Chains A and B, each alone.
Chain A
Amino acid sequence: MSSLTLPDPDRAVLARANDIAKQLRRLVPDAVVISDREGRSTFECDALTAYRRLPLAVVLPGSTEEVSAILRFCHDNAIKVVPRGAGTSLTGGALPLEDSVVVCLSRMTKVISIDPENRVACVEAGITNIAITNAAAVEGFFYAPDPSSQVACTIGGNIATNSGGAHCLKYGVTVNNLLGVRMVMMDGEIVDIGGSHLEAPGYDFLPLITGSEGQLGIVTEAAVRILKEPEGARPILLGFDSTEAAASCVAAIIAGGIIPVAMEFMDRPAIHVCEHFVAAGYPLDVEALLIVEVEGAEDEIEYLLEKIEDIAKDFLPTEMRRSQSTEETALIWKGRKAAFGAIGQLSDYYCIDGVIPLSQLPKALDEIGWICRKYRFDVANIFHAGDGNLHPLVLYNANDSVQLERVELCGEEILKLCIELGGCLTGEHGVGIEKRELMYEQFTDEDIDQQIQIKEAFDPSWLLNPGKVFPIEGRDARKLRGHELHVLESGIAEGHEAP
């Protein structure tokens, strides 16, 4: 990529920038409206820092009604809108457009209710993922999806990309834990979809909204399922002298009828960096490490760990070590969750998010190694192995524009490999601007046309987060109806945040 086609800014809208900010202030006097250059620059990119664009204005509303008023105003004035939560998207999902108003929900962080009897939490969309669990913990409950960035990322953003996390092998991803949303449509209409009961009448719009990357509406409130905390949980570390043995062990555990709550894979570079960073007690003399966690009552944990050890033995592990204490368990997870940050301390990296069928795991890792060697990059693999969601971290120098271009090509080749092996382009980071042009690798014209028909049912003028998800370059310029296109050159990245 390294340069990017975006919809041409609407000159008439740009010319009215001051007036628009003024009108927004009048329209939503209690919201925060940011129009000065310095303030806006905070929002010029998300965690895909290579691409930046100053938005026209940024609004931080405090209520659904304010979001509605803002969207109605933008709709009536043909102003594009880019929704934003915490800005942790790794695919440019929250990249502003020059002529867009960024609507950032970071002030809407209220817990509306925690209802342990019906096992539902109602929250505002700008609340962080971890804050939901923290609020539910008072009653002994938790919210299951746990993306690595859970301390920072918002539930609204989680809904936009259907986020998963380490524990989704057992508990499912966002869509499986979402019961209802309050959403504002581009024309300002407020709709309630689903609710605190298990099923909504009529069509099920929740899966359509979940993962739609902010293109169908802005979710302002969510009702999510909360679960009782398990009696206990304990991980086991399994070390192997080849990545292939570790990958085969993952498939064998699933085939053995065991669904651990988490099954994380780290290769040698990842292990060393994390161990150096956190001193989690990972073995250093192995090529691959699995962190397999099971949960339940003490007897159940014992039983499952024994079974897992039995299965693992067939793959000649060089290390099998159960966590002996809650402190050790916490440390093991601290190492895993710090992985992206730790690697980021060492080098810039390009985080890839592809999915493959589990049986293809050994082959996929082998091929990824080869692709990275071909492009002369080091790679660290650290990912959720149980569901085949790969996150190769390709290490490169972000200050070198030639390397940036090469790393993007390398990533593209890895994603094409995932599709070739029967998988898909993205498991949890979304398409954003990053993978937009690869959509035709996975879909036909008809497939994409159907998705566009849906987009247009919700937002016929393409004002809501345009330029994302759908391919718009080359033969597909027609996909962005009514918008002229231009090219955005990448800036030089300045380090990355954890996903």
Chain B
Amino acid sequence: MTGHMRLGFHAPETEEELAHLVAEAAETRTPLEVLGRGTKRDIGHPVSAGVVVSSENMADIPLYEPTELVMVAKAGAPIAKIEAKLAESDQELPFEPVDLGPVLGYGPGEGTIGGVIGANLSGSRRLLKGAARDHVLGVRAVNGRGQLIKAGGRVMKNVTGYDISRTLAGSWGTLAMMTEIALKVLPAQREVRTVIFFGLTDQTAIEALCIAMGTPYEVSGTLHMHASLAARFSDEDIAGAGVPVTAIRVENFPASARYRANSLKQALLAYNPALELDTERSKVFWGEVRTLKAFQDKPNPLWRVSTTPTAAAKLVGTLSRKMEVSAVYDWSGGLIWLETPTLTDAGGVDIRRTLAEFGGHATLIRAQDATRAGIDVFHPLDPSMATLSAKLKHAFDPTGILNPGRMYRGM
């Protein structure tokens, strides 16, 4: 039942054009695959839609006020373009969005800001500065009725009406297609120091990372990884360690960053801090963390697991008795990137069964099409949340035309 809609690829240049197109699709009940530049197209269930709508032709940055810490970007603006613009004024995206492109076969920075917010992608600094969605000040979007809606604004505080803008973050284009996003940005960190520990067990490493987060030194990165994954980094000391590597990052102006690194080493003396990376080496290292360097070379399934730090090591330990897994723990264990063997279900059944015991949830980031079509890519919701989610979807997209089934079947 596609009516008269032209099938194929559409990349409207204006919001009005997009609204018109979606309204037509709603009327004819034509499913739309919503995307930016498609770098995350392989995450979620494959969307079967004859019409693809991209924001790639809406890629300007209409407003950037460095003195107000605000940038307004069109949804199709690539991250590389946004970061280059921010760098001109010595600013950055505080949430340091993890770049999934390279593990999915794309170049770094190719993805759009619409994609980053739509997937709510935050990097290591999320622990200190908050998630991608925390930096969304407002959006303009087209809902599933084909109506152009706006929410929030471009100011730092706003409680005028329901917070639709942050709700769209992490909705993977299933509620509305964002056209413009106002973001809070911050001054870039000048000095970066990384304290490195070698050979800690997962449990001991997480204990150390939690202690670090409980200090007043504004730790902005807490990472632990298995030896096999550390070996894939370019820093020789880290790659050549042959043992698990644990890293803690501090940032600020030079004297303060140095002070913080030293204080941390004192606080964690018992864990044997072995190495301190300077700004240059730190930036390379955390840059590789951000592009998931550890998972770029092998095509194995990759999971993103969210749990509480104190449960993380036990969770991975339990899993490793069931299959061969390699893990990078970020957010002091609150986030686990998990490489699993190429099984039919990518290890999903065991992972979710184990999570039921420890608490948390898992999303499959990389897997073959057949695997993704066959299992729950996004973590199954409990019945009450599933009902509420279906109602929310209906409130935005009553005919269910936006990325149908991408997150959850029948939704």
Contacts and interface: CB of A to CB of B under 8 A. Distances in A.
10 contacts: A201-B363, A202-B381, A202-B389, A207-B165, A228-B214, A228-B215, A303-B255, A358-B67, A442-B161, A457-B391
User: Which secondary structure dominates chain B's binding surface?
Assistant: mixed
A38 interface: no
Interface stretch (B43-51, B307-315, B343-351): B307-315
A339 interface: no
B161 A469 contact: yes
B155 A355 contact: yes
A306 to B, nearest CB: 11
A162 B161 contact: no
Contact of A423 (B153, B169, B308, B395): B153
Contacts, number: 243
Interface centre among B69, B127, B162, B360 (most CB of A within 10 A): B162
Interface string A11-22: 000000000000
Nearest to B120: A204
User: Which secondary structure dominates chain A's binding surface?
Assistant: loop
B156 A457 contact: no
A357 B65 contact: yes
A356 interface: yes
B156 A387 contact: yes
A355 B134 contact: no
A228 B216 CA distance: 6
A466 B130 CA distance: 33
A211 B67 contact: no
A231 to B, nearest CB: 5
B384 A191 contact: yes
- Closest 6 A/B residue pairs (Cβ): A207-B166, A427-B157, A387-B156, A257-B187, A255-B67, A201-B379
A220 to B, nearest CB: 15
Interface of B: 65-70, 90, 120, 126-127, 130-131, 133-134, 143, 147-151, 153-167, 169-171, 175, 186-187, 210, 213-216, 218, 252-253, 255-256, 259-260, 263, 306-310, 331, 334-335, 359-361, 363, 378-381, 384-385, 388-389, 391-392, 394-396, 407-408
Interface centre among A202, A231, A447, A451 (most CB of B within 10 A): A202
Contacts of A117: 210, 214, 309-310
A437 interface: no
B308 A118 contact: yes
Contact of B159 (A118, A252, A388, A430): A430
Contacts of B68: 251, 254, 357-359, 388
Contact of A251 (B67, B162, B359, B408): B67
A447 B150 contact: yes
A208 to B, nearest CB: 5
A140 B213 CA distance: 12
Given A161-B159, A389-B157, A426-B159, 13 more contacts: A119-B214, A168-B157, A169-B156, A192-B385, A198-B334, A199-B361, A204-B170, A204-B171, A296-B218, A355-B155, A359-B68, A443-B160, A455-B162
